[in-house]
Structure 1
Amino acid sequence: MGAVGSVVVSLDAELGWGFHDLPEPPAKRVESGRRGWSVMLELLDEFDVPATWAVVGHLMLESCDGVHADHPAPPGWFDRERGAWADREDLRFGPDLVEGVLEADADHELASHTFSHVLFGDPKTDRELAAAELDRATEIAAEWGESIDSFVYPRNDVGHRDVLAEYGVSAYRGRSPTRDGVRGVFDSTVRDQSLVTTPRTDEHGLVNVPASLFLFGFEGPARTVAESIWTDPMLELARRGIDEAVRSDGVFHMWLHPNNLTSERDDQRMRSILSHLERRRSETDLTVETMGDVARRIQRSRGTGIDGAAGGVDGQATVRSN
């Protein structure tokens, strides 16, 4: 068969922090964060799929004063924590959920999603703020006895990669070949665009493990119509990406937020995807890796001509999917 690629699953684990800066957070998804987190842990264990859990550092705290006086955040950044969500500890803290990741049967990777979901690519995010976010997240992880090897940018807004390198990060999830999940459906079905990517080392020594497919990029009425006359488009794309990884030596990197699982229909999408992955893994040499696994593999290949240098991505368009 020749070379066989691998599959990576990454999750942006954020609870309320993924929406705290929005004027009107989407209530259904905000309230689905804990449910989806638990469902994904169960499914990943059931199918023995190790995943990269990119966790907002604040969730690993037991409590806080809500002030964060030493944090160089812009004015108003923590207003929702201090105000509307002051009594919603279930949205602001999640040490029980993080423990679930670390104690799971599947060998998950704990990665960073910053301390408070700051957008690193935002022009208003200076180096001081980026460093403070990563410093605090790394500090909290160390208190848990964990180190941070991989990083997922909030809303895929890439920036300050030099800060990641300074803090010992090895890998980050880079931009997707398509701008968002809806265009991903169009490009991949109509234009037959490849879903497999090639991780490479950038000029900072970081391994860019690009996203291939956001698994909840085709929702709402369009999804309902598509399922009524055909099938779940995202399920078909995920299956195709997994099959393509079997035939290649690249990486199919699919990602989601736990809060995307708002109903049993969403649970079934993930169960079907992981079931297909399990079947293809049993039939072939296909492997499942975490982002950290990919980085270590790429780093071992340095000097062999396998690894290449990827150009900077800070100047490229970014993918923003809440």
Structure 2
Amino acid sequence: MGSVVLSLDAELGWGFHDLADPPSDRVESGRRGWSVMLELLEEFDVPATWAVVGHLMLDSCDGTHTEHPTPEGWFERERGEWQDREDLRFGRDLVTDLLESDVDHEFASHTFSHVLFGHPQTDRELAAAELKRSIEVATEWDCSFESFIYPRNAVGHRDVLAEYGVSTYRGWTPNREGARAVFDSMVRDQSLLVEPYIDDYGLVNVPASLFLFGFEGPARTVAESIWEDPMVALARRGIDEAAANDGTFHMWLHPNNLTTERDDQRMRAILSYLERRRAEADLAVETMADVAQRVRHSRGVDGVSTRIDTQAKASWN
């Protein structure tokens, strides 16, 4: 049976707080995109892996984080320019919406403060602190996670993930976004499927197949004017390929990629097509934890999926 996975990097302002000149349209669209994606996923009954930045789940914060071993200035924007922008720093309402959704989503981690695990300045102590704090915050919500998505796909410190009980992560696949992805798939007929596997730390790597917002700006406008949205075409191709070849197609995006109704229409078109193909073909929609469980089972290793427990929803705030 073929499989389609959709994962989201849910971060609000934390995805940009370390950038000198963050893209204002995406910074301001995080909340909108989060709500739109939840609505679309409910409409088409598509479960997804939501990797949430742990800081969003806090009640409040003074921005000091004195016991957190981040580099000097890491929380500077939170203490300064965004001090009065709680809508960018916190998202308890959005996380509650996610956890209380009628769809069986997976709650996953995107670190505590969007630290880049693959960056040379991120040592083991910092990686461990980010995971430890994420687990503490999730526990306060009666949540747990087994899947992890690296900020900006900077893979690193996989040994720390294994130590703290993470069992699966989204690996990075080169050339799977932008014009290169369109060329490789449509012209060179390169497959969009990926092969999840157990790495040397015992973690299941569920590699990315396609970033759904990697072909933007004037190029997207021109392509749509003479053809169609290239990312919708690629997504359909990946879905069809998964159904035909019993493979895995893993799409991903940030909620803040949905900056206008035009972006909403892209996601609606993709999810609508997925719904139709799921009904007519031997095709499953899985979360990353589902894939990890399947891979471990096929290798004779025990694994338990950690989708959101509906019986625990009443305890979430």
TM over 0.5: yes
**Cα deviation, residue 177, structure 1:** 4.3
Structure 2 counterparts to residues 46-125 of structure 1, below 5 A: 46-125=43-122
The match for 2:33 among 14, 33, 36 is 36
Gaps of at least 5 residues in structure 2 are 302-317
Number of the residue aligned with 2:220? 223
CA contact (8 A) 2:172 2:208 kept: yes
Number of the residue aligned with 1:13? 10
**Cα deviation, residue 248, structure 1:** 1.6
Give distance in 1, aligned partners of 2:49 and 2:300. Answer: 27
TM-score (norm 1): 0.92
| Cα RMSD (Å) | 1.0
CA contact (8 A) 1:177 1:211 kept: no
Kindly indicate whether residue 225 of structure 2 is the aligned counterpart of residue 214 of structure 1: no
Number of the residue aligned with 1:247? 244
Number of the residue aligned with 2:159? 162
The match for 1:129 among 112, 126, 139 is 126
Identity %: 77
Aligned residues: 301
The match for 2:268 among 261, 271, 281 is 271
Kindly indicate whether residue 182 of structure 2 is the aligned counterpart of residue 181 of structure 1: no
**Cα deviation, residue 303, structure 1:** 3.8
**Cα deviation, residue 250, structure 1:** 1.7
CA contact (8 A) 2:208 2:250 kept: yes
Give distance in 2, aligned partners of 1:121 and 1:239. Answer: 32
The match for 1:288 among 266, 275, 285 is 285
Gaps of at least 5 residues in structure 1 are 305-322
SS in 1 for 2:181: helix
Letter in 1 for 2:129: A
**Cα deviation, residue 302, structure 1:** 1.4
SS in 1 for 2:145: coil
SS in 2 for 1:158: coil
The match for 2:138 among 141, 155, 162 is 141
**Cα deviation, residue 64, structure 1:** 0.9
Give distance in 2, aligned partners of 1:264 and 1:113. Answer: 26
| Cα deviation code 1:141-189 (max 9, x no counterpart) | 1111111110000000000000000011111000124253332122111
TM-score (norm 2): 0.93
CA contact (8 A) 1:171 1:295 kept: yes
**Cα deviation, residue 5, structure 1:** 1.2
**Cα deviation, residue 65, structure 1:** 1.5
